[in-house]
Amino acid sequence: MQLTLWTYEGPPHVGAMRVATAMRGLHYVLHAPQGDTYADLLFTMIERRRERPPVTYSTFQARDLGGDTAELFQRSVREAYERFRPQAMIVGASCTAELIQDDPGGLAQALDLPIPVIPLELPSYQRKENWGAAETFYQLVRHLAKAPAAPRDSGARPCCNLLGPTALGFRHRDDVREVTELLALIGVDVHVVAPLGATPADLARLPGADFNVVLYPEVASLAARWLERTHRQPFVGVVPIGIGASTDFIHRVAELAGVNPAPALERIEWRARWYAQSVDSTYLTGKRVFVFGDATHAIAAARVASREMGFTVVGLGSYSREFARELREAATLYGVEPLITDDYLEVESRITEAHPELVLGTQMERHIAKRLGLPCAVISAPVHVQDFPARYSPQMGIEGANVMFDTWVHPLMMGLEEHLLTMFRDDFEFHAEAAPSHLGSAATALRAVPAADVPAMAPAVKAVPAAPIESPAVATAVPSSPIELGWAPEAEKELHKIPFFVRGKARRNTERYARDRGVATITVETLYDAKAHFSA
Annotated catalytic residues are 280
Interacting positions 31-70 with another protein (CB under 8 A): 33-42, 44-45, 48-52, 56-62, 64-65
Amino acid identity at 529: D
Q: For 192, which DSSP code? A: E
Distance from CA of residue 114 to its chain's centroid? 40
Q: Which is nearer to another protein, 60 or 216 (CB)?
A: 60
Q: Which of 128, 252, 287, 288 binds another protein (CB under 8 A)?
A: 128
For residues 35 and 58, give the distance between their C-alpha atoms in angstroms, rounded to a whole number: 11
What mask, x for binding another protein by CB under 8 A, covers residues 195 to 214?
--------------------
Beta carbons within 8 Å of 340's beta carbon, 6+ residues apart: 317, 318, 319, 321, 324, 327, 328
Which of 211, 290 has the CB closer to another protein?
A: 290
Cβ closest to another protein, residue 65 vs residue 420: 65
Q: Measured between alpha carbons, how far is 407 from 494 in angstroms, rounded to an integer?
A: 33
Binder to another protein among 114, 125, 267, 441 (CB under 8 A)?
A: 125
Stretch that binds another protein, among 89-97, 158-166, 270-278, 406-414 (CB under 8 A): 89-97
Asked whether position 103 contacts another protein by CB under 8 A, the answer is no
- When asked if residue 7 is in the footprint of another protein (CB under 8 A), the reply is yes
CB of 518 to another protein, least distance (A): 36
Q: Which of 76, 402, 481, 510 binds another protein (CB under 8 A)?
A: 76
The distance of closest approach from Cβ of residue 61 to another protein in the complex, given in angstroms and rounded to an integer, is 5
Alpha helices in 195-339 (DSSP H): 200-204, 217-231, 243-257, 262-267, 271-277, 295-303, 324-334
Rounded to the nearest 5°, which phi and psi values hold at 192?
Answer: -135, 135
Q: How far is the CB of 449 from another protein (least distance, A)?
A: 28
Q: Which is nearer to another protein, 46 or 149 (CB)?
A: 46
Task: Return all residues near 416 (Cβ < 8 A) that are at least 6 apart.
Answer: 283
User: Which among 238, 240, 233 has a CA at the least distance from the CA of 257?
Assistant: 233
Cis peptide before 148 (omega within 30 of 0): no
Count of chain residues binding another protein (CB under 8 A)? 57
Which one of 2-10, 300-308, 351-359, 421-429 is the stretch in contact with another protein (CB under 8 A)?
A: 2-10
The residues, ordered by sequence, that sit 6+ positions from 488 with a Cβ below 8 Å of its Cβ are 456, 521, 522, 523, 524
Cβ(314)–Cβ(384) below 8 Å: no
Query: What is the contact mask toward another protein in residues 357 to 396, using x (rule: CB under 8 A)?
Result: -------x--x--xx------------x------------
DSSP 8-state class, residue 36: G
Q: How far is CA 307 from CA 242, 249, 399, in A?
A: 10, 17, 18
Per CB under 8 A, does 110 bind another protein? no
**List of residues contacting another protein (CB under 8 A):** 1-7, 9-11, 13-14, 33-42, 44-45, 48-52, 56-62, 64-65, 75-76, 79, 83, 94-96, 99-100, 124-126, 128, 364, 367, 370-371, 384, 475
